[in-house]
Chain A
Amino acid sequence: MAYKTIIEDDIDILVAGAGLGGTGAAWEARFWGKDKKIVIAEKANMDRSGAVAQGLYAINCYMGTRWGENNPEDHVRYARMDLMGMVREDLAFDMARHVDSAVHQFEEWGLPIMKDPDTGNYMREGRWQIMIHGESYKPIVAEAAKKSADKVFNRICVTHLLMDDAKENRVAGAVGFNVRTGDYHVFKSKTVICGAGGASNIFKPRSVGEGAGRVWYAPWSSGSAYGLMIGAGAKMTQMENRIVLARFKDGYGPVGAYFLHLKTYTQNCNGEEYESKWFPELSKMVGKAYLDTEGQHVSHKPIPTCLRNHAFINEVAAGRGPIHMITMHSFQDPHLEEVGWENFLGMTVGQAVLWAATDVDPKYENPELTTSEPYVMGSHATGCGGWASGPEDLSPPEYFWGYNRMMTVEGLFGAGDAVGGTPHAFSSGSFTEGRLAAKAACRYIDDGKGDGIVVSDDQIRNRGEEIFKPMEHYKIYRNEIVAGDVNPHYINPRQGLDRLQKCMDEYCAGVTVNYMTNEKLLNIGLKKMKIMEEDFENLAAKDIHELLRVWELKHRFLTSESVFQHTLFRKETRWPGYYYRGDHMKLDDEDWHVLTVSRRDPKTGEYTMEKAPLYHLVGEKDEMEDKGLKDIKAKEAKK
């Protein structure tokens, strides 16, 4: 190892990954831990890192409780409905009861939030969404985190968590390397708040070549939240619950504002509404409780995202594609046209670039939609992530072990994509989870739970050797060949990524197999993954940048293996439209109305799977009163 070793000692709270979750954690931690040492380690530059790097045009999780719009339990019910019942409702309620506090503070800090001219309240895009001019959303929250942190280390790729050598299953910090200098960084810390990201690019993308970068979730979201936590032996939940997005074709531009605010809608190639005709059959697959085709309009329950995907996928398979977004009507209104374009410029510039390049003006042409390759993450309309404790005042015994948002590894906390079972947190909810984790982490330290941590020199040295091994490997074998990247001793990270994506796609229900898999396919895939794991010991990096890609790939691999194991475990099709178990095509509430929980033994790599009970929020009467929904119905009745 030719690089320096830099040790940062005596840290109280290490924030690993400073996206929306990590910035929330760093900021709030200072309030509860005035004298604590708070350090941030971030893979990129905190001002533009994470999923919100390019900005957002909406905050998708805002209750508006202050204006009397919704109560926290209303949002829980919505998330439950959308995820076909599979939500950690204690965590979801906890996030929802705090989230408005974060959003109003963003406004105080300078984030431009649009206002409804009639009421003066925040402008609603949908029931949960408000509209913002969020180009600088990330720099603004990064500024807040910087104010609270003692030190910020940008450009540190955190590769592993450090474990306490004195006490089993307790975290002791993290290690990684600087992607510019190549220095080896060791962070010894009493607690770690994992704010790293979910996973793009683990399934083969629809695009080829250069276009592989135009993924829906950021290409730098390398599943590190899962790679780090799985590697440390933390339990994971709902990792089978990958998400497929119906988006504008190729650019993956967002559709939320289009559906909700611009009132655009979809049609098949013949100009027909197509969704409803798939629902009777689908209703038989998932049961009437999840899709009540006759009662849906009356009950006003939104149709779950996955089920709408199902209709889309089947309509295209039946030969009536493409599915169009009908924009020509709305875009005649100049204000709505402006919103439509600014929506892209604010959060998916690539879609604007594509329409400009292809002369698509949605005023004169209805653009095409597509369903994306699957993604694994925990803050959008899906809830993959770590198995975390809930708050003391809400959680039943199975969901509570001492500290809010603490994983099953002591001292390891999570926020955002890292926390499983909490879909629909989005940016504001992730920030809020970071705040909750920070408060709990301070309490953990004040209770003396982080005392007496020992990190042996052996652990530090061994991790260091492991981290830089791909560069050594390259040096040893590079000169055995004349030139190029074909070498019998190693593969480079791009070649490894291609192999992972192909395996995930074909065996774990990717886009080229129409999101279909079964037990046989999954077992073949897992066999291939085992060999791939061995080959990934022979990954080679010709420079530090490639070393970054190697470790991203290793995190993606651990994420993928977990997705395989969970998908194999859940013997039902819970989310048609996200993926299908061909051997169990029906939703099965008798056996599978549960959360799936896994643990990978860090020593042996063996997986153990278990079912965890699902608790639901239930009102004093049978059905919770939904005040927000009543208001919406009353408004519609007036019209």
Chain B
Amino acid sequence: MPTFVYMTRCDGCGHCVDICPSDIMHIDKTYRRAYNIEPNMCWECYSCVKACPHNAINVRGYADFAPLGSSVRVIRDEEKGTIAWKIKFRNGTEKNFLSPITTKPWGKYIPQLADATSPSKDMRDGELLFNEPKYIRLDEGGLHTLESNGLTLKEGVYY
């Protein structure tokens, strides 16, 4: 559903402009606040809604099939590592959901590959990727190959 921005909550900070994957959240030149310039290119991905520090952005269902009167609100908290949703139906029914978004502090457990041990010549010449064969086998064996798995690639019609 296309996004819209509440006039009284938006302070024109531009977080939504910065994050929108579709490049449709722009700052209005007169009001110095954000708005959706192209609703029919909006995927309702909620990236801008989640990024807004003032909860100034919401979504109103696509006019061609969604009636007015409901809302789906969200609060994404990077520090807590959670996302909270509140769905309010047109008839007033409410549903709430809470999910984790990460299990670790942001970025800390991603290795800096520039500092990893340089790959050996064998590894460069072979087919293994970084960190392999860890995780790709049940046993201690290496990468699966046609030979190891008793396979050939044959031309023709096979089902």
Interface residues of chain A, those whose CB is within 8 Å of chain B, are 27-28, 30-32, 34, 43-45, 47-50, 53-54, 65-68, 71-73, 80-81, 85, 89-90, 93-94, 97-98, 100-101, 103-105, 107-112, 133, 135-136, 140, 143-144, 147-148, 155, 179, 207-215, 218-220, 250, 289-290, 338, 341-342, 345-346, 349-350, 352-359, 361, 391-396, 435-436, 439, 443, 446, 545, 548, 589, 593, 613-620, 624
Report how far A290 CA is from B158 CA in the complex, Å.
Answer: 10
* B contact residues around A357 at 8 Å (CB): 1, 61, 66-70, 89-90
With known contacts A250-B65, A618-B158, A345–B102 Cβ distance under 8 A: no
* B contact residues around A290 at 8 Å (CB): 159
Q: Is the CB of A32 within 8 A of B67?
A: no
Report how far A617 CA is from B153 CA in the complex, Å.
Answer: 5
Q: Is the CB of A148 within 8 A of B151?
A: no
List residues 49-66 of chain B with CB under 8 A from any CB of chain A. 59, 61-66
* B contact residues around A98 at 8 Å (CB): 129, 132, 136, 143
Q: Is the CB of A208 within 8 A of B64?
A: yes
Report how far A356 CA is from B69 CA in the complex, Å.
Answer: 9
With known contacts A54-B45, A97-B144, A207–B62 Cβ distance under 8 A: yes
Report how far A65 CA is from B44 CA in the complex, Å.
Answer: 36
Q: Is the CB of A67 within 8 A of B100?
A: no
List residues 21-35 of chain B with CB under 8 A from any CB of chain A. 21-23, 26
* A contact residues around B134 at 8 Å (CB): 101, 104
Q: Which residue of A lies closest to B18 (CB)?
A: A45
* B contact residues around A350 at 8 Å (CB): 1, 43-44, 62
* B contact residues around A68 at 8 Å (CB): 138
In the complex, given contacts A358-B90, A396-B153, what are 13 additional A-B residue pairs having Cβ atoms less than 8 angstroms apart? Answer: A31-B130, A32-B124, A34-B118, A44-B22, A54-B45, A68-B138, A71-B149, A93-B146, A101-B132, A209-B62, A218-B43, A349-B74, A361-B89
Q: Is the CB of A109 within 8 A of B104?
A: yes
Q: Is the CB of A66 within 8 A of B138?
A: yes
Report how far A220 CA is from B88 CA in the complex, Å.
Answer: 29
Contact with A along B75-107 (1 / 0, CB 8 A): 010000001010111110101010111111111
Report how far A358 CA is from B89 CA in the complex, Å.
Answer: 8
Q: Is the CB of B151 within 8 A of A73?
A: yes
* B contact residues around A289 at 8 Å (CB): 159
* A contact residues around B104 at 8 Å (CB): 109-110
With known contacts A32-B119, A45-B18, A110–B23 Cβ distance under 8 A: no
With known contacts A34-B118, A109-B110, A391-B127, A65–B43 Cβ distance under 8 A: no
Contact of B159 among A31, A85, A103 (CB under 8 A): A85
Q: What are 19 A-B residue pairs whose CB atoms fall within 8 Å in the complex? A: A28-B113, A32-B119, A48-B20, A85-B159, A98-B143, A101-B136, A110-B102, A135-B76, A143-B110, A147-B112, A209-B40, A220-B21, A353-B72, A359-B70, A359-B90, A435-B130, A614-B157, A617-B146, A618-B154
* B contact residues around A100 at 8 Å (CB): 135-136
Q: Which residue of B lies closest to A616 (CB)?
A: B158
Q: Is the CB of B39 within 8 A of A213?
A: yes
Q: Is the CB of A30 within 8 A of B114?
A: yes
Q: Which residue of A lies closest to B88 (CB)?
A: A356
With known contacts A133-B99, A179-B23, A361-B89, A48–B47 Cβ distance under 8 A: yes
CB distance from B101 to the nearest CB of A (A): 4
Q: Is the CB of A394 within 8 A of B23?
A: no
Q: Is the CB of B64 within 8 A of A133?
A: no
**Interface: B137 (CB within 8 A):** yes
Contact of B151 among A107, A589, A619 (CB under 8 A): A619
Q: Which residue of A lies closest to B42 (CB)?
A: A213
CB distance from A417 to the nearest CB of B (A): 15
* A contact residues around B90 at 8 Å (CB): 356-359
Q: Is the CB of A346 within 8 A of B99?
A: yes
**Interface: B8 (CB within 8 A):** no
CB distance from B151 to the nearest CB of A (A): 5
Q: Is the CB of B71 within 8 A of A396?
A: no
Report how far A182 CA is from B149 CA in the complex, Å.
Answer: 53
Report how far A45 CA is from B127 CA in the complex, Å.
Answer: 32
**Interface: B7 (CB within 8 A):** no
Q: Is the CB of B95 within 8 A of A211?
A: no
Q: Is the CB of B37 within 8 A of A393?
A: no
Report how far A43 CA is from B22 CA in the complex, Å.
Answer: 9
CB distance from B94 to the nearest CB of A (A): 10
**Interface: B122 (CB within 8 A):** no
Q: Which residue of A lies closest to B63 (CB)?
A: A210
Contact of B129 among A93, A110, A395, A436 (CB under 8 A): A436
CB distance from B146 to the nearest CB of A (A): 6
With known contacts A54-B46, A110-B109, A211–B102 Cβ distance under 8 A: no
Report how far A395 CA is from B152 CA in the complex, Å.
Answer: 10
Report how far A213 CA is from B133 CA in the complex, Å.
Answer: 42
Contact of B72 among A94, A97, A349, A545 (CB under 8 A): A349
CB distance from B142 to the nearest CB of A (A): 10
